[in-house]
Amino acid sequence: MLSYKESLKILKEANALIEGHFILSSGLHSPQYVQCAQLMSKPEHAIKICKSLAAKIKDELPDFDIILSPAMGGILVGYEIGKLLNKETIFSERVNDKFVLRRDFLIKKNQKVLIVEDVITTGKSSLECSKLVIDHKASIIGYGCIIDRSNDKSSLKQKIVSQVKLNIPTYSKNNLPNDLLALKAVKPGSRNL
15-52 confidence digits (pLDDT tens): 999 999 999 877 889 999 988 999 999 999 999 999 99
Q: What was the pLDDT predicted at 192?
A: 45
Contact 90, 79 (CB under 8 A): no
Helices (H) and strands (E) in the chain, counts: 6, 8
Global pTM? 0.88
Q: What was the pLDDT predicted at 127?
A: 87
151-177 confidence digits (pLDDT tens): 877 778 889 999 999 998 889 999 999
81-130 confidence digits (pLDDT tens): 999 999 999 999 999 988 989 999 999 999 999 999 999 887 788 888 99
| Lowest pLDDT segment from 9-13, 154-158, 179-183 | 154-158
Work out how many domains the chain is built from and give that number: 1
Supply the CATH number for residue 118's domain: 3.40.50.2020
User: What domain range includes position 117?
Assistant: 4-192
Query: What are the C-alpha distances in Å from 181 to residues 26, 102, 172, 177?
Result: 18, 44, 12, 6
